[in-house]
Amino acid sequence: MEKKQYERPLLKRIVPTMPGKTGQNTHSVAQTEIDGVALDGLRERFGSPLFVFSEKTLRKNIREAKRAFSTRYPDVRFAWSYKTNYLNAICNLFHEEGSLAEVVSGFEYEKALQNNVPSNRIIFNGPAKSEAELLKAIQGDSLIHVDNTEELRLLTKLAVAHEIRPRVAIRVNLDAGIYPAWSRFGFNLESGQAWDALEKIATEKRLECVGLHCHIGTFIQSVNAYRTETEKMAHLALDAMTKLGLPISYLDLGGGFASKNSLKASYLTGEDLCPTFDDYAEAITSALRMVKFPAGKKLSLIFETGRALVDNAGYLLSSVITNKRMADGRLNTVIDAGVNLLFTSFWYNHKVTSTYDDVAQMEPTSLCGPLCMNIDVIRDNVLLPPLRRNDLLLIHHVGAYNVTQWMQFITMRPKVVMVMENGELQLLRDAETLADLNRMEAK
């Protein structure tokens, strides 16, 4: 047998932190503070895990959104979407900045009232309003956005019985080029359902139809979808005013603006893809300007922007518990914050930063929470430097939909604090304890 030739193997270190195919860095730069407040100090004082909000970022976001729209259109208001984050301090911050309340249930309606929002500054959305909730909203002169024919019938009945003229808008769903289109909510435009509902209101004359509402979906990165939505809604409003004589005074174009989070399915990061408020505002207001309304009948605009206003103002601070090597050789780092606190980790590749950089030694890591559940994965694969027990990690862009959809599951919900603009720390919500859980159970 002939002797095989030997070639010396070349061992070469792969540095996984080179820019990827799209030229972006594949790891995040270390972060040790939020608005000047040190992360280790936060943990010392409030424990870990910990949700942290930035007052500065919240105010910056809403002011930026308002500026983008109000410099292009004279009459624009924002309504805070309670379900996106209904911590009272956050709702009240938005109310302080002039936002109405946008609620989708009786419980959220009560929450807005308890936050001292005048009832006529509450927009009541949602597909499942009870008769008692509707009556309360009518008596409070709230803006009721009608979802379906049954609700229209109930409202008319209540209006007659109580001799009140409720202020309503109908929720419209339409094809804005976003698929699958959300046609579950409201009356469909293209099939004529929306027009039928408006005709019914005009004929019965029991409800004051002051607006039209549409919320095309969520995390919509296409400004063209908003252009289409605006065109269609503006023409519907014009027809409702001129052909049916309805006193339409506003268009509520819903929420849905994207945040800078990165969707799991997306190749590029959210930071690259997310349109600015100016981009959205330009598409919407330029579409609206193309529609000629009768003299003196300019519509006001309402936006129910949720995630785009809070996502980047929220962080989840977490501590490393341990490292493991999985059977396939991958590094598995376990932290003290699980998916029960971070519902959005099912959708997003959340940005994760450590408190120090070590570019040469970074390793693709599977980052998991403390739950005894295989699905408890915060990131499948994220580049992190070597971590040891008690090292701190910061999970970014968690301000939307987490502190409402979180749950007590295996671990309790932790504290929530806000870094105030003046540098003070304010406890927004205390950690839950076993006693809180037991209080609700029969003995």
Ligand X SMILES: *Cc1c(COP(=O)(O)O)cnc(C)c1O
- Residues near ligand X (CB under 6 A) are 81, 83-84, 102, 104, 125, 215, 218, 254-257, 304-308, 400
> Which pair of structure tokens corresponds to residue 310?
């809070």
CB of 72 to ligand X, least distance (A): 19
Residue number with CB closer to ligand X (41 or 127): 127
What distances in angstroms separate CA 341 from CA 286, 318, 400, one per listed residue? 40, 11, 12
For residue 98 the two structure tokens come to: 């002039």
Q: Which is nearer to ligand X, 176 or 383 (CB)?
A: 176
Q: How far is the CB of 412 from ligand X (least distance, A)?
A: 26
Give the DSSP letter of residue 363: E
| 311: phi then psi, degrees, rounded to nearest 5 | -55, -50
Which one, 227 or 307, has the nearer CB to ligand X?
307
Residue type, 181: A
How many CB atoms are closer than 10 A to CB 160? 11
CB 315 within 8 A of CB 419: no
Amino acid identity of residue 26, one-letter, is: T
Q: What interhelical angle do 277-289 and 223-242 show, nearest 10?
A: 30
Identify the CA nearest to 287 among candidates 24, 55, 72, 116: 72
Q: What are the structure tokens assigned to 177, written together? A: 């080029």
Residue-by-residue DSSP string for 383-396: EE----TT-EEEE-
Q: Is 166 or 306 the residue whose CB approaches ligand X more closely?
A: 306
| Nearer of residues 167 and 215 to ligand X, judged by Cβ | 215
Measured from the CB atom, the residue of 306 and 414 that comes closer to ligand X is 306
Q: How far is the CB of 300 from ligand X (least distance, A)?
A: 17
Smallest distance, ligand X to C-beta of residue 126, A: 7
Strands (E) located in 47-119? 50-54, 76-81, 100-103
Please give the structure tokens belonging to residue 324. 């493991």
Nearer to ligand X, 104 or 176 (CB): 104
Shortest CB 320 distance to ligand X, Å = 31
In the numeric block, the tokens 């860095």 are attached to 25
Two tokens, residue 353: 């930063």
Q: How many CB atoms lie within 10 A of CB 121?
A: 18
Least distance CB 79 / ligand X (angstroms): 8
Q: Of 152 and 367, which CB lies nearer to ligand X in the complex structure?
A: 152
Q: Compute the least distance from the CB of residue 414 to ligand X, in Å.
A: 23
* b/e per residue 321-340 (b: at least 16 CB within 10 A): eeeeeeeeeebebbbbbbbb
List Cβ neighbours of 301 (8 Å cut-off, separation of 6 or more): 69, 73, 75, 76, 77, 250, 251, 252, 253, 284, 288
Nearer to ligand X, 206 or 213 (CB): 213
| Nearest distance, CB of residue 308 and ligand X, angstroms | 6
The 3-state DSSP class for residue 220 equals strand
Residue 238 beta carbon to ligand X: minimum distance, rounded to whole angstroms: 23
> Least distance from C-beta 252 to ligand X, angstroms?
8
CB closer to ligand X, 115 vs 318: 115
Q: What's phi and psi for 122, nearest 5 deg?
A: -110, 130
Residue 123: which of 168, 86, 183 has the closest Cα?
168
